[in-house]
Amino acid sequence: MEIQTPYAFGKTVTASFDATEQKVRDELQKEGFGILSEIDVTAKFKEKLGKDFRRYIILGACNPALAFEAFGQELNIGTLLPCNVVLYAADDGSTAVMIMDPEAALSLIGNPQVSGLAGMVKEKLERVLAKV
């Protein structure tokens, strides 16, 4: 099932969380993205608050070539990077994959050259999602 918000796009899949996570990582790599950061939200809530929470991870994905080009256009762009890719266990047992919409986030800058780069990044991320 497709999911759309003003700031992200995604879908739910019936595959297991672990299988979906591996597929997302593989497809990101095929599109030239590396994972710069990883936050296990479930573990952090347990560690810091003693609270249980659904399986939920945030992957900070970055395409180095496009990021380098973006930094050349807008030095402060680092405040909006990397592109977050989120996976979480949905209530119905499916796995949700949500991807930050780089066009929405980077439109805040108001730089047409950065907007063009954001469009390229979004196309790559849409291909990742399509293959999950």
pLDDT of residue 54: 98
pLDDT of residue 5: 96
Q: What angle do CA 101, 69, 104 make, to 5 degrees?
A: 15
Q: For 18-45, how does the pLDDT look when each residue is reduced to its tens digit (9 = 90+)?
A: 999 999 999 999 999 999 999 999 999 9
Q: For 71-123, how does the pLDDT look when each residue is reduced to its tens digit (9 = 90+)?
A: 999 999 999 999 999 999 999 999 999 999 999 999 989 998 899 999 999 99
Q: 86: part of which helix (H) or strand (E)?
A: strand 83-89
Set out the domains of the chain in order of their start, with CATH numbers. 2-131 (3.30.310.70)
